[in-house]
């Protein structure tokens, strides 16, 4: 199931919030949708409107709206300004305003369906993140994006057993040669502060940061790509998530696998709605 499949009801709710936030202004595009959701998030932060699970669902929808706005052509500065206006408007609203109570009730109703949604797809420009909230005793993917390096499939995201999955890359290399190390490479915000969207979206080597895998083990069979019998699971530090969330959804990051003969195999991924997927998982397992 995708966010779009529940969008009509959610959009109606957030339109009501927008009417309250900007009287007389109609919703016209993705940037406006982001404003609407940012307003509700800001109002919640000030007035404590929602239970934690609804808060998580709203954060997922807001992050997804931001990604959609950027992909539709909105500028980062435009969205920063929209979020600022949303916070400023929310700051002027009384927490006891009956219209805010109406918005609260409608948001609760709209996101009630999300709380029962076991899986969701967050589409990107080229690749998607697939989120999964189904409990399992086996190792499984909670958040996953697929890529390839040559003929070898590579999956990256949150994987593992129980409620505390780790950021993991699972690869099934063809042939006997195996890498001795793996790292994620992505834009270093200290060197390049603005999103890098040229070419395929992967910043030049001189402006990259890297995060090395902290360990590797044989991958659980339930994490392998279809028709693969073996593979390696490379685990990455928790700080990787924050680094990915700093990227523009249109940017590319890559996982490099380093071999002892000096060669490097690179699998490319799209930042996409990684933040939205994490927020969806925060609603808890089913």
pLDDT in tens, the chain (286 residues): 444 444 444 444 444 454 444 333 333 477 888 888 888 899 999 999 988 888 888 888 888 888 888 888 888 888 889 889 989 888 888 888 888 888 888 888 877 777 888 998 998 888 999 999 888 888 899 999 999 998 899 999 999 887 788 999 999 988 767 899 999 999 999 999 888 988 888 899 999 999 999 999 999 999 998 888 889 999 999 999 999 999 999 999 999 999 998 999 999 999 999 998 988 888 888 8
Given 83, 117, 151, which residue is the final one in a domain?
Answer: 117
Q: Are residues 107 and 137 in the same domain?
A: no
Indicate whether 197 belongs to any domain: yes
Distance CA 93, CA 238 (A): 37
Look at residue 218 in the predicted model and tell me its pLDDT: 92
Give the domain extent around 34: 3-117
Distance CA 186, CA 174 (A): 26
* Chain centroid, CA 96 distance in Å: 33
Q: Are residues 268 and 138 in the same domain?
A: yes
Looking at the DSSP bridge assignments, the partners of residue 123 are 128
Nearest to 136 by CA among 223, 203, 60: 223
Q: Please tell me whether the overall predicted TM-score, pTM, comes out greater than 0.75 for this model.
A: yes
Indicate whether 286 belongs to any domain: no
- Domain count of the fold of the chain: 2
Look at residue 241 in the predicted model and tell me its pLDDT: 94
Look at residue 110 in the predicted model and tell me its pLDDT: 77
Indicate whether 30 belongs to any domain: yes
């Amino acid at each position: 199931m995708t966010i779009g499949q529940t969008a009509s009801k959610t959009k109606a709710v957030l339109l009501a919030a927008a009417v309250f936030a900007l009287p007389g202004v109609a919703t016209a595009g993705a940037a406006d949708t982001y404003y609407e959701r940012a307003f509700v998030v800001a109002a919640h932060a000030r007035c404590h409107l929602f239970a934690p699970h609804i808060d998580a669902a709203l954060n997922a929808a807001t992050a997804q709206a931001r990604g959609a706005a950027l992909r539709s052509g909105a500028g980062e500065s435009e969205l920063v300004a929209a979020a600022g206006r949303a916070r400023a408007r929310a700051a002027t609203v009384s927490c006891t305003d009956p219209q805010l109570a109406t918005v609260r009730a409608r948001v609760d109703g709209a996101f009630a369906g999300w709380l029962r949604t076991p899986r969701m797809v967050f589409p990107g420009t080229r690749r998607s993140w697939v989120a999964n909230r189904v409990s399992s005793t086996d190792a499984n993917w909670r958040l996953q994006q697929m890529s390839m390096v040559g003929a070898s499939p590579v999956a990256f995201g949150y994987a593992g057993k129980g409620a505390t999955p780790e950021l993991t890359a699972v690869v099934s290399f063809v042939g006997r040669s195996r890498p001795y190390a793996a790292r994620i490479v992505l834009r270093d915000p200290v060197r390049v502060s603005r999103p890098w969207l040229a070419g395929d979206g992967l910043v030049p080597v001189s402006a990259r940061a890297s995060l090395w895998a902290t360990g590797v083990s044989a991958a659980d069979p339930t994490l392998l790509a279809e028709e693969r019998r073996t593979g390696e699971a490379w685990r990455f530090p928790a700080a990787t998530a924050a680094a990915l969330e700093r990227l523009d959804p249109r940017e590319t990051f890559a996982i490099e696998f380093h071999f002892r003969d000096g060669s490097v195999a690179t699998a490319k991924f799209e930042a996409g709605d990684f933040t939205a997927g994490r927020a969806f998982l925060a609603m808890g397992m089913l």
